[in-house]
Homo-oligomer: A and B are copies of this chain.
């Protein structure tokens, strides 16, 4: 994809930005601390196409408990990634939708997503080889 030289450039450019801010390069942790938990990413991806109701999400994300779904949604809402809309009705109805910021975050996960798609086999092979030793 890119040459070693190009990689170097990218990295050093980012390192320079970080240095200028007086921050450490391990800044990615900030995202991971935020969306690196077990379910947040799944929720964000489920909201990619359209807003969803609580029970829709619960149904569409296999294995999630309502407790964890609530926690994930609250966290995403707090960080400004998700909008929560309560419809005054009986039975109650709540819709969750991605904010522009949330959609932006989703965009930025795609390269990583794509990468996994393209390299899962490589990783599995590396693991098999390592474990066989």
Contact = CB atoms under 8 A, between A and B. Distances in A.
A25 to B, nearest CB: 5
* Copies of this chain in the oligomer: 2
A125 B26 contact: no
Contacts of A104: 1, 115, 119
Nearest to A80: B126
B45 A28 contact: yes
A68 interface: no
Contacts of A117: 14, 17-18, 27
Contacts of A41: 26, 28-29, 32
A66 interface: no
B127 A79 contact: yes
A116 B79 CA distance: 12
Contacts of A17: 117
Contacts of A126: 78-80, 101
Contact of A131 (B45, B78, B115): B78
A126 B83 CA distance: 11
B32 A110 contact: no
The 9 residue pairs across chains A and B that have the minimum distance between CB atoms:
A80-B126, A108-B115, A26-B42, A78-B130, A111-B111, A36-B36, A11-B48, A28-B41, A25-B45
